[in-house]
Amino acid sequence: MRASILLLLSIATELLLFSGCREEQRTDESPFIRQLPVNGVITYDTALPPGGSLMVSIEALGGGSNITYFGISMFDGQQHFVLDSGMNHPNLSFVQPIFKGNSVEEIWTFSIMNRKREKASIQIHLTKAAVISWGKINTFDPVILSAQGSNSPGSFFSFSDGTVFDYPYAEAHQSATDLIYYAGLYESTFSSPSESEAPDHFPGILNWTLKNETRYDTTALTSNDFFLSSNDSLALVSYEPVNGKRKAKNLEKGMVIVFRNQAGKAGLIYVKDILPGSEGKIECAIKIQE
């Protein structure tokens, strides 16, 4: 099991220097990366239960030469590259949560490189804490969604209240739109507003001001596993965020998909039946953390 992450890179126009961090010695001509305090605290080593999150606030300077690369990797016995981002800016700011997975230990590395190919990095060590109690889940069953060629009952879904709705409602309630269903002749897909191909089927999404992101992964879970799940433990230990994608494609009857939504809640989707095609439908059951 690998840890979760919801990533958003924003480039800042200036940086506030912070002293007292554990970081490499620097000069004005060397690249520099550090954590800033969150709620007055800088965390480098901590224990979290599976699904627990840590807010990370990082800022960096290129050291007289623009930063051309920002990367995030995670090691849990295997090396996973979470983010490889090219850029060309004198500084950067990154503020996002990282989520603990089910592995015993994770080492998160945040790295930069400037135009001179000089590098700097910092690390965060996460260990697995015991779970005091698993959380409650909401169950929505049945959930029936139509593909893009039909407005009834609709191709859009909200994880917050289990509502299915059509495009006009989704456009008017962008903050509530978490899942999109669309289909080709042979391929059925779960998506979300931030996914790059969603506007191919619903062009108006290009102009949305709020695009929630849901990430999906396939599992080897069975329908029995799904329906016996009575708390959030199965979703939390099944989600492998390094493999999480903005869409779950090639959906088939009997599949169990694990996901994490924009709000950081994990859940499971069991595909009960599919009528393929752009005017077809999908029936599923959904469980998600309260």
Domain co-membership, 186 together with 273: yes
Domain co-membership, 167 together with 267: yes
For residue 176, give Cα distances in angstroms to 259, 263, 264.
16, 11, 14
Token duo for residue 285: 């059951």
Domain co-membership, 104 together with 167: no
What's the mean per-residue pLDDT of the chain? 88
HSE-up (13 A, CA, CB side) for residue 176: 17
pLDDT of residue 243: 80
Q: How far apart are CA 176 and CA 164, in angstroms?
A: 11
Domain co-membership, 70 together with 173: no
pLDDT of residue 186: 87
Give the mean pLDDT of 121-136.
Answer: 90
Higher pLDDT, 15 or 180: 180
Domain co-membership, 210 together with 98: no
Q: 79 Cβ partners below 8 Å, 6+ apart?
A: 73
pLDDT of residue 24: 43
Q: How far apart are CA 22 and CA 193, in angstroms?
A: 39
Percentage of the chain beyond pLDDT 90 is 72
Domain co-membership, 119 together with 14: yes
Indicate the residue among 104, 128, 152 that finishes a domain.
128
Domain co-membership, 274 together with 171: yes
Indicate the residue among 128, 160, 191 that finishes a domain.
128
pLDDT of residue 21: 36
DSSP E strands in the chain: the ranges are 4-5, 9-10, 32-35, 45-48, 53-61, 67-75, 79-89, 91-99, 105-114, 119-128, 137-146, 156-157, 164-165, 179-183, 188-191, 215-218, 256-260, 266-275, 281-289
pLDDT of residue 25: 47
Indicate the residue among 128, 162, 186 that finishes a domain.
128
The tally of domains found in the chain comes to 2
Domain co-membership, 173 together with 261: yes
DSSP secondary structure string for all residues of 36-72 = --BTTB--SEEEE-TT-EEEEEEEEE-SSS-EEEEEE
pLDDT of residue 27: 53
pLDDT of residue 14: 32
152-166 pLDDT per residue, tens? 999 999 999 999 999
Report which residue type is found at 58. I
Domain co-membership, 255 together with 196: yes
Q: How far apart are CA 139 and CA 290, in angstroms?
A: 9
pLDDT surpasses 60 at 252: yes
205-249 pLDDT per residue, tens? 999 999 999 999 999 999 999 999 999 999 998 987 778 899 999
Percentage of the chain beyond pLDDT 70 is 90
pLDDT surpasses 90 at 168: yes
Domain co-membership, 268 together with 176: yes
Token duo for residue 33: 């990366």
Q: How far apart are CA 272 and CA 80, in angstroms?
A: 33
Contact 112, 120 (CB under 8 A): yes
Domain at 94, CATH number: 2.60.40.10
Residue range of the domain that includes 189: 137-289
52-103 pLDDT per residue, tens? 889 999 999 999 899 999 999 999 998 988 888 999 999 999 998 888 888 8
User: What are the φ/ψ torsions at residue 285 (nearest 5 degrees)?
Assistant: -125, 145
Domain co-membership, 85 together with 201: no
Token duo for residue 119: 């590098």
